[in-house]
Structure 1
Amino acid sequence: MEEADAVRRAARASVDDIEPPALRDELRSFIDGGSMVPGVLAVLTARACAADPAEGVVERAAGVQLIYDGLRLTRRLAREEPWRTGDPAGDMHVLAADVLVARGFYLLARTEAASAAVEVVRAFGRDQTDGGTADALEVDVLDLAVVAGATAGDVDPTPELRSVAADFARGVGPEFPPADSLASADAYDTLVRSVDGAVADH
């Protein structure tokens, strides 16, 4: 899927300057091993909102993707607790999770989606503390993807538009299927209809 490849390249490029090389390789491996659904949904939303691709759309999408990748790694570590078993890779994975989220924030920091990104991380922290639903992160990060994509096209992320993310995320469970699932779910056409409806209502 073309959009998935573009988001993955941008996400990988964002960690090119990370040292030491072992940490950089760990980050790239984790980026390559995950579903690109969050980033691709951000790109599709931006396209549905007629955003100019030259205005950092893929970088926004990569920011969403990196935040998700970092938080899902954090979630996995919280469940596996590798430090209890003396797994030497545990410390590296903790650092990788922090770097992924930080780089995601960096890419979204000067966008209209910055505050939504902060709220995703706060909600994740509350969910991990309170033992919330298994797919809470997935629901929240797809909402962030729609916000990031819509604002790239100067479109208000209305409840109608954001409901597309909620509908797709509902019942997906922990972690996403491959990005091609967005095509089979007609996500782009649904986004276009939601954008057109939001414009007509205002």
Structure 2
Amino acid sequence: MEEVAAVRRAALAGVDDIEPERLHDRLAARLDDASFAPGVLTLVAEAAARDQAVDDSDADRAAGVQLIYEGLALTRRLAHDDPWTTGDRDAADLDILIADILVSRGFYLLARTGAAEAAVDVVREFGKDQTELRATGNDDLDGNLEADICELAVVAGVTAAGHEPTAALRAVGPDLASDGLPAVDTLLSGEVADRLTGHDSQAAADH
């Protein structure tokens, strides 16, 4: 799948200068095991808004979304597992550093784009959800990350094409993540692009 390969290359490029080698290798391994759905959705949203295919040169925003998701998902896992008390403390220290790097590099890639504010909102809401989860034990809050990151993906893709991410367009992202991250095959089937194009067309008609 060309879109997956493009997101992987851009995401790896985003952390390519990280040293020492051991840390870089752990980052690369994390990305090798990733679902690239957030990044692919970004490219699908951009292509739908442009009404044409996108290529590797458009993948930086997709990589930014992908890196933020990977960092927050790793942070979530560490919060649940608490390896500092039940496992390998040294590995946990390295993992939390990796999570911080992933999120910060994702922010860097989105910093001067129309998705910058939405990226901040994702991290802010993630913090609120995790705080509330610890206080209430409401595990349903964990799924908000996937919904929020898919909304960010739509915003990043649509704004890359120079379009306004309307409320209807933004809502497509969380809907796709109602059961977790959507499958990449689903995102590339054409149905998601049709939904995004239909919402965009309707928004234009309304104005």
Deviation of 1:54 after TM superposition, in Å, equals 7.1
Equivalent in the alignment of 2:204: 199
1:169 matches 2:177: yes
Deviation of 1:85 after TM superposition, in Å, equals 2.9
Equivalent in the alignment of 1:142: 150
State whether residues 6 and 56 of structure 2, in contact with CA within 8 Å, keep that contact through their aligned partners in structure 1. Answer: no
Equivalent in the alignment of 2:159: 151
- CA–CA separation in structure 1 for the residues paired with 2:157 and 2:51: 8
Equivalent in the alignment of 1:182: 187
Deviation of 1:178 after TM superposition, in Å, equals 3.8
- CA–CA separation in structure 1 for the residues paired with 2:152 and 2:80: 24
Alignment equivalent of 1:96, drawn from 76, 95, 98: 98
Equivalent in the alignment of 1:73: 74
Equivalent in the alignment of 2:114: 112
Give the SS at the match of 1:134.
Answer: helix
In 2 relative to 1, CA 177–149 (structure 1 residues): closer, same or farther, beyond 3 Å?
A: closer
Alignment: residue pair count: 199
Give the SS at the match of 1:130.
Answer: helix
State whether residues 63 and 104 of structure 1, in contact with CA within 8 Å, keep that contact through their aligned partners in structure 2. Answer: yes
State whether residues 120 and 144 of structure 1, in contact with CA within 8 Å, keep that contact through their aligned partners in structure 2. Answer: yes
State whether residues 49 and 155 of structure 1, in contact with CA within 8 Å, keep that contact through their aligned partners in structure 2. Answer: yes
Unaligned 5+ segments in structure 1 are none
In 2 relative to 1, CA 191–98 (structure 1 residues): closer, same or farther, beyond 3 Å?
A: same
Unaligned 5+ segments in structure 2 are none
In 2 relative to 1, CA 34–112 (structure 1 residues): closer, same or farther, beyond 3 Å?
A: same
In 2 relative to 1, CA 51–102 (structure 1 residues): closer, same or farther, beyond 3 Å?
A: farther
Percent identity, aligned pairs only, is 53
In 2 relative to 1, CA 77–51 (structure 1 residues): closer, same or farther, beyond 3 Å?
A: farther
- CA–CA separation in structure 2 for the residues paired with 1:90 and 1:20: 17
Give the partner amino acid of 2:4.
A
State whether residues 65 and 153 of structure 2, in contact with CA within 8 Å, keep that contact through their aligned partners in structure 1. Answer: yes
- CA–CA separation in structure 1 for the residues paired with 2:193 and 2:103: 27
Deviation of 1:181 after TM superposition, in Å, equals 2.7
Equivalent in the alignment of 2:10: 10
State whether residues 51 and 153 of structure 1, in contact with CA within 8 Å, keep that contact through their aligned partners in structure 2. Answer: no
Give the partner amino acid of 1:11.
A
State whether residues 27 and 96 of structure 1, in contact with CA within 8 Å, keep that contact through their aligned partners in structure 2. Answer: yes
Q: Which moved more, 1:188-197 or 1:93-102?
A: 188-197
State whether residues 18 and 24 of structure 1, in contact with CA within 8 Å, keep that contact through their aligned partners in structure 2. Answer: yes
Give the SS at the match of 1:111.
Answer: coil
Give the SS at the match of 2:195.
Answer: helix
Equivalent in the alignment of 2:168: 160
Equivalent in the alignment of 2:43: 43
Give the SS at the match of 1:49.
Answer: helix
In 2 relative to 1, CA 80–25 (structure 1 residues): closer, same or farther, beyond 3 Å?
A: same
The structure carrying a bigger helix percent of its residues is 2
